[in-house]
Structure 1
Amino acid sequence: MSLARRTSAEFAGTALLVAAVVGSGIAAARLSPADVGLQLLENAFATALALGALILVFGPVSGAHFNPVVSAVDWWLGRSTRLGLSLAELLAYVAAQVTGAVTGAVLANLMFDLPAVTWSDTPRTGGHLWLAEVVATAGLLLLIVALVRSGRANVAPAAVGAYIGAAYWFTSSTSFANPAVTVGRMFSDTFAGIAPASGPGFIGAQIVGGLVALAAVAWWYPVPRRRPDDMVIPQPAPEGAHP
């Protein structure tokens, strides 16, 4: 697949993921205005199902990262074999993911007859929330790499969707676990939003979570049974390369 095709898949997949997160948050707030717990359940359920479906759709094209931290770990783990993302590809993936996330938030706003862009005024700050983001992101990355390195990448759509759905509930931050999604959710002043001032703290915690995951992978999965690139759905090796 050309880089243009892969980055367009990352853009579209991330846009649809954020549209699912924000859109289901808006729908949940309207359907269950007096019950925040039910709102969160509806939001988590829709997000988990959408994520699994999007990985199935876009995995064979781009690897279905939809997440700058996932792409960065893919680049880091693939450096020695030169089969993961190159640095230039990493930057292209991140740009596609961030712009896709913003587009997805705008799309969700428009689908629910809201202004295209409304900056969120929901503050999400504090050490407990940052710790939750470290845990959520580290767990997500460890899950993905563990599946790939143990030869079980075929179950990633269900496993990743299930993890994110569960992490909505067992983390106090409701598991953003994704810098691009964090940026996108700043553009919607709804149930799923996050105030721009709270974004840097979340993104910093997600980066720390990625580093924690790398340390865990080095200890528990030091030798991959399969190639270390293609974080979610394995793709054909380049001509002449040895898996």
Structure 2
Amino acid sequence: MSNTIRAAAGEFLGSAGLAAVVIGSGIAAQRLSPGDVGLQLLENAFATALGLAVLIVVFATVSGSHFNPVVTLVDITLHRRSWTTAGVYLPVQVIGCVAGAVLANVMFAAPAIAWSTTDRSAWPLLLSEVVATAGLVLLIFALVRTGRSNLAAPAVGAYIGAAYFFTSSTSFANPAITIGRMFSDTFAGIAPASVLPFIGAQLVGAALGYSAVRVLFPVGVPAPAVARS
């Protein structure tokens, strides 16, 4: 099997796993804690943080564990990789997230495809997506550019788990999972009409995160003595 096929398979499975964790844990939270939205969010965030960390560890050596179009696009732009990577990764990330959403629905005896009715179009939610995505990009590529990629799994999992609470949007920060979530009319869903504004906000956040990485972590600049100690 070629490296390209292996990488595409890794991105598909990782993206599907991510969507299944996010949506499945959201459905479970709704059923286990009816009437307590705060507890539902805590359960959803906790499962997502752990599941994402595990998926990153599993697929890191296969595809780099992007599972997110903005991560792929920023990686290509920052490190001058071939744009053919985007042609391979982006479609399988989206298809994987849709497949994971359908799988989560079926595992909980919900309709395989049910368009979400959860409107998420308010401007504070879009601002939250800008912030969440910028922070995620800055975190990932700060680690990459300072030789600490081995910390990505726990760091990204912890960041997303925290961002469920410090952003009003619950931190989607990922166009592929945003598309996948519209296929499930459950706790983690998003109405189709809200998807494009969310993705637009995520792309703005990615651009801001990219700019911050270029300024704060230029290649070839040694870390300060305090950071090395």
TM-score normalised over the length of structure 1? 0.89
Q: Aligned pair in 2 of structure 1 residues 216, 115: CA closer, same or farther (>3 Å)?
A: same
CA-CA distance at 1:89 after TM superposition: 1.6
- Show the counterpart of 1:58: 59
Is the counterpart of residue 137 in structure 1 residue 133 in structure 2?
Answer: yes
Post-superposition Cα deviations, 1:148-182, rounded to whole Å, max 9, x if no partner, equal 11111111100000000000000000000000000
Post-superposition Cα deviations, 1:36-88, rounded to whole Å, max 9, x if no partner, equal 00000000000000000000000010000000000000110121xxxx3x111
8 Å contact kept, 1:68–1:94: yes
- Show the counterpart of 2:101: 105
Gaps of 5+ in 2: 223-229
Distance 1:9 1:132 in 2: 29
CA-CA distance at 1:225 after TM superposition: 7.0
1:141-180 alignment, distance < 5 Å:
141-180=137-176
Distance 1:207 1:129 in 2: 14
CA-CA distance at 1:224 after TM superposition: 5.0
Post-superposition Cα deviations, 1:172-200, rounded to whole Å, max 9, x if no partner, equal 00000000000000000000000000000
Is the counterpart of residue 47 in structure 1 residue 48 in structure 2?
Answer: yes
- Show the counterpart of 2:184: 188
Distance 2:17 2:221 in 1: 32
Distance 1:96 1:121 in 2: 25
- Show the counterpart of 1:234: none
- Show the counterpart of 2:25: 24
- The 3-state SS of whatever aligns with 2:114 is coil
Q: Which contiguous aligned blocks of 4+ residues in structure 1 show a shift greater than 2 angstroms?
A: none
Distance 2:149 2:46 in 1: 22
Distance 2:221 2:38 in 1: 41
Distance 2:22 2:213 in 1: 29
Q: Amino acid of the residue matched to residue 137 of structure 1?
A: T
Distance 1:224 1:172 in 2: 37
Aligned length: 221
Post-superposition Cα deviations, 1:80-104, rounded to whole Å, max 9, x if no partner, equal xxxx3x1112121000000000000
Distance 2:87 2:181 in 1: 21
When structure 1 is superposed on structure 2, of 213-222 and 134-143 the one drifting more is: 213-222
Q: Aligned pair in 2 of structure 1 residues 149, 183: CA closer, same or farther (>3 Å)?
A: same
Q: Amino acid of the residue matched to residue 95 of structure 1?
A: P
Q: Aligned pair in 2 of structure 1 residues 30, 116: CA closer, same or farther (>3 Å)?
A: same
- Show the counterpart of 1:76: 77
Post-superposition Cα deviations, 1:8-33, rounded to whole Å, max 9, x if no partner, equal 10000000000000000000000000
1:184-223 alignment, distance < 5 Å:
184-223=180-219
- Show the counterpart of 1:239: none
Is the counterpart of residue 120 in structure 1 residue 116 in structure 2?
Answer: yes
- The 3-state SS of whatever aligns with 2:168 is coil
Distance 2:88 2:209 in 1: 23
Q: Percent identity?
A: 63
Distance 1:7 1:224 in 2: 31
Q: Aligned pair in 2 of structure 1 residues 103, 225: CA closer, same or farther (>3 Å)?
A: farther
